[in-house]
Structure 1
Amino acid sequence: MVRPCPGAQGAESNYKKFGAEPADHAIGRSRGGLTTKIHLASDGRGRALGFVLTGGQVADTSLLAETLSEIRVAGARGRPRSRPRRVIADKGYPSKKNRAWLRSRGIAATIPERADQVAHRRRRPGRPIDFGDEQQARYKGRNVVERCFNRLKQWRGIAARTDKTARNFHAGLCLAATLQWV
């Protein structure tokens, strides 16, 4: 009987490292493999205002407050503006915690509910979330963030995440975002 090659018996992939990835690398395992997630806030013209780097497995909804706290927009005088008037986000961000955080700071929100939340609300009615025609018209402007990502990822180093540490990757993002503003 001929034994098959040892490589054909389901050995671990070569790209996996032994042990956990260091926290300062912002690399995590998601469905696509080892990835980095960029949580980004942009203005209405598609320019990056603030971003946070995490591993690919981190949920979007858990970092809304941290991402918005990165915003600093300098004005003509006084302190930099750090609080937006309105937040437009996709279905990755709705949660009671996020909505309460935004409400406590006086920030208006345009965030649609996920299908599971709508079904839960039908079973246990409470405070309704208005997502009428006016909100839907505002929500159409969410593609500005996607265009911001596309402009940032025109840099090959950002699109491919070739930097080993998150500090270097963050510096590249800062440089690309600065050039968007200039």
Structure 2
Amino acid sequence: MCRRHSCPGGPLCRRGQKRGSEGSNASNEALGRSRGGFSTKIHLLCDSHGHPLTAVLSPGQSHESKSLSEVMKQVDVHGTGDSIPIVPAKLAGDKGYRYDWIDKWLIDEGITPVIPSKQNEDRTARPVEFDKPSYRKRAIIEQLIGWLKECRRVATRYEKLARHYLSMVKLSMIGRYLRLIAPADSRV
């Protein structure tokens, strides 16, 4: 009988974690379990023209409201010179963002929440009135997500690591900005 290694546990050089996988698991790689398998949520913030401002990843089973503060922290828009920072006047979201703490946080930041009430709650108890015409403009972010799904590499998530996948999302966003500033006759 010829054994390659004398110990039954395998070679010592590969015990423990593999190189480069320090703390790497599904939760910090924005991979979440759902009925269809692994999934990832992309939380986007765009301006009123549909230009993407930032993107944040989270596991597929996590709730949208948990990522709102992280998305808002990533956008750092300043005015010119010594002027005060520019903040959005309104923030539209679907019913998944309808929580009292989100309304309070947005109002404290000077942003008017444009989020519809859930069917089982009292609409008059909210600190702000629902602005239906502004909510209809939420289609802009839906169109941005639809455009992002056309980017094959982003839609299928070939990347294993979250930072690589987020890089592909941001590279797609850069491509969108380059198409905006390029002259129409120079496009391929």
TM-score, normalising length from structure 2?
Answer: 0.73
Aligned to 2:129: 130
Partners of 1:100 and 1:128 lie apart in 2 by 8
Structure 2: which 5+ residue stretches go unaligned?
1-23, 179-188
Q: Which has the higher contact order (CA 8 A, sep 6+)?
A: 1
Q: CA RMSD in A?
A: 2.4
Q: Please tell me the residue identity of whatever aligns with 2:71.
A: T
Cα displacement (A) at 1:164: 0.3
Aligned length: 155
Asked if the contact 1:28/1:34 (under 8 Å) is kept, the reply is yes
Residue deviations 1:86-127, cap 9 Å, x none?
1011111010111111011111111001112x2xx38xx745
Residue number among 147, 152, 159 corresponding to 2:148 in the alignment: 152
Cα displacement (A) at 1:47: 1.4
1:13-32 aligned at under 5 Å gives the runs 21-32=25-36
Q: Please tell me the residue identity of whatever aligns with 1:146.
A: E
Rg (Cα) greater in structure: 2
Describe the shift of the 1:178–1:73 C-alpha distance in structure 2 as closer, same or farther (beyond 3 A): farther
Cα displacement (A) at 1:65: 1.5
Q: Give the 3-state SS of the residue equivalent to 1:92 in structure 2.
A: helix
Asked if the contact 2:55/2:170 (under 8 Å) is kept, the reply is no
Identity %: 32
Describe the shift of the 1:79–1:27 C-alpha distance in structure 2 as closer, same or farther (beyond 3 A): farther
Structure 1: which 5+ residue stretches go unaligned?
1-19
Partners of 1:78 and 1:171 lie apart in 2 by 32
Asked if the contact 1:24/1:167 (under 8 Å) is kept, the reply is no
Residue 96 (str. 1) matches residue 128 (str. 2): no
Aligned to 2:71: 67
Partners of 1:108 and 1:128 lie apart in 2 by 10
Describe the shift of the 1:130–1:170 C-alpha distance in structure 2 as closer, same or farther (beyond 3 A): same
Cα displacement (A) at 1:71: 1.3
Cα displacement (A) at 1:129: 4.4
Describe the shift of the 1:40–1:139 C-alpha distance in structure 2 as closer, same or farther (beyond 3 A): same
Cα displacement (A) at 1:170: 0.6
